[in-house]
Amino acid sequence: MLKPHGSDTLNPLYVADDAKRAALVEEAAGLKSIVVSSAAAANAVMMGSGYFNPLTGYMNLADSLAVAEKMKTTSGLFFPVPIVNVVEDASGIEAGMRIALLDPNVGGNPVLAIQTVDAIETATDEQMAFMTDKVFATDDMEHPGVKAFNTVGKTLISGPIEVLNYSYFAADFPDTFRTAPQIREAIEKNGWEKVVAFQTRNPMHRAHEELVRMAMERENADGAVIHMLLGKLKPGDIPADVRDAAIRKMVELYFPPNTVEITGYGFDMLYAGPREAVLHAVFRQNMGATHLIVGRDHAGVGDYYGPFDAQTIFREEVPEGALELKIFEADHTAYSTKLGKVIMMREAPEGHTKDDFVLLSGTKVRAMLAAGEELPGEFARPEVAKILMDFYQSQA
């Protein structure tokens, strides 16, 4: 199995010892507390889960700027995006203090983590703009990631954290949420050596199903980990519980037993395209995968990124040796009526045209499901389509 990123062993920041965790919860009751942003909470969950190994806490301003500029901290650690705790108001907080970080996404705002404060620094407008441009390649506030990054404040609270729970993820998704050590354990238990990871924030249609199968066959993989995002998405995206049910049904019916692990992780989508694709690679290496499928417009939104920018960044900007995990470069996949199967469109035989593929836009799919119309069998498995149709009709 591949080593974790940046260290020989995985270093999840969740306090696993019950007695120590209880003592920290008691300590937190007497500490200065702040309700953090959803993004900062998700960062804490990812560090607690071992996915952001080898980070020990939130980055300071210098590291955030260095990571934004060249994907390396000031000490030289490769990391593709700043991992920060940004607030509007840090009054009453000083370097050296221990503070309780409260969860914004759970009723009553329970303590999520305790942070030992190294520094409190306020970024200038120019520094915020610089980081925004480097990470998201746009300053358009209509971009959901840009908006989320620029509306929670400009003051960075840096320093190590001790994570006390996994927010709502473990409770709401007990069968799906898994930490990086848990996935490593499953891979080892399965006896898998080569493991393909598939990132998704959407239900999986026939094209996604076949793409996972193609990657497994071409990389001679022993198994696949379907790893779905369980955190906040943009309006209109399908909720995680519906996606989870649809994916489980697909795997149950259409993959051989013991070849696919269905898992999820607690993070809010950045929609940062290429930079987020590299982040996906970092934490898939930490969970033990050897390959990550990077497809067309991976982690993108709208028209902010070119269709294959998320593949190009690995070839042109990720330093050689920065990651041990390999990328499986995929094109858009669709059902060919000429060939009677799903193929990558770039691999279509000469003479294929767009009309030879079964292609439906997301808007069209949503409209059909909401109207109770069956999706073509070449596009979606009927059992999956039914789960999605039930959801859309319940929203009408």
Active site members: 201-202
- Residues paired with residue 72 on neighbouring β-strands, in sequence order: 78
3-state secondary structure (DSSP) of residue 307: coil
Phi and psi of 29, rounded to 5°? Answer: -60, -25
The CA distances from residue 276 to 98, 113, 134, 202, in Å, are 31, 24, 12, 16
HEC per residue, 323-376: CCCEEEECCCEEEECCCCEEEEHHHCCCCCCHHHEECCCHHHHHHHHHCCCCCC
Sign of CA dihedral 305, 307, 312, 318: positive
| DSSP assigned state of 14 | B
Q: Which of 156, 151, 26, 191 is nearest to 83 (CA)?
A: 156
Q: Which of 293, 263, 255 is nearest to 182 (CA)?
A: 263
Round to the nearest angstrom and report the end-to-end CA distance of the chain. Answer: 47
| DSSP assigned state of 212 | H
Residue with tokens 């700043």: 82
Q: Which of 338, 313, 298 is nearest to 208 (CA)?
A: 298
Single-letter residue type at 97:
M
